[in-house]
Amino acid sequence: MKHMKIIITLLVSITSFNVLASDKKKEEGQKFYQEFKKIDNKYPEGKEKYKALEKCAKHGNYVCSGMVGLYYYFIKDYNKAYKHLQFAAQEGRGVYSIYNALGDMYLSGKGVLQDNDKGIYYLKKSITNSGREQDKAKTSYNISTGYAHKQFTIENSISSYAWLKIAQSLGMETVNYINDSKFPDEPIEAALNRQAIYLGSTNKTKADKLAKKICSTIEGCNSGDE
């Protein structure tokens, strides 16, 4: 239940969520959400808490669906995770963890058909729902790898470079494009230099301009312009 404790710590305080568009469903979902909160206060951990959370999710409350989805995601039961996370995201009330999990699942084909475009879409949404620079840096790096793994075009290479620069500006220092622990991480500057050589000066200039444009939309990202 350790993962569930972490997830609830992340999400249970989010009280601004609505329940469902339908008034009837909204009322029903809210009822079970309130029941869950009572049990949450009474039983910080354990089966009773999880049962209440599952019941709440089954009755259409997407706060609970998001928590259940993240639980299954962290224990790597991706098929179950996808259903709950997708429901929470479709209701338009996702948070960083939900969008980031969906982005990772689409990029890696975990519990859903692999789709770089959808992976990048959800990762971009997660950036706008995170206040921590380290989360934004990691997500920016994942977006960069998403573009790198798409169809090999100059446009995708430019986007990959731009998002890697964003990750650097947000504090990321090392990367592992192979994503294999057998290979050591390399300085992010080295990865950028390697990509810059491939792009050439004209396309690198385009990538730098794109990075500045993206940076201006992300809180905590400093472009260096006055």
Query: Pick the residue with more confidence: 220 or 94?
Result: 220
Provide the mean pLDDT of the chain.
Answer: 79
pLDDT of residue 27: 52
What's the pLDDT score for residue 207?
97
For the chain, the structural domain boundaries read 2-93, 133-215
Amino acid residing at 39: I
Q: Which of 200, 204, 177, 199 is nearest to 188 (CA)?
A: 177
* Core vs surface per residue 97-127: b (16+ CB within 10 A) or e: bbbbbbbbbbbeebbbeeebebbbbbbbbbb
Give pLDDT tens digits for 188-216: 999 999 999 999 999 999 999 999 999 99
Cβ pair 96, 36 in contact under 8 A: no
pLDDT, tens digit, 9 for 90 and up, residues 102-154: 999 999 999 999 999 999 999 999 988 777 888 899 999 999 999 998 888 99
Using CA atoms, how far apart are residues 104 and 12, in angstroms rounded to an integer? 23
Q: What pLDDT digit, counting tens, does each position of 44-66 carry?
A: 455 666 677 777 777 777 778 88
CA–CA separation, 142 and 136 (whole Å) = 10
Strand partners, 186: 175
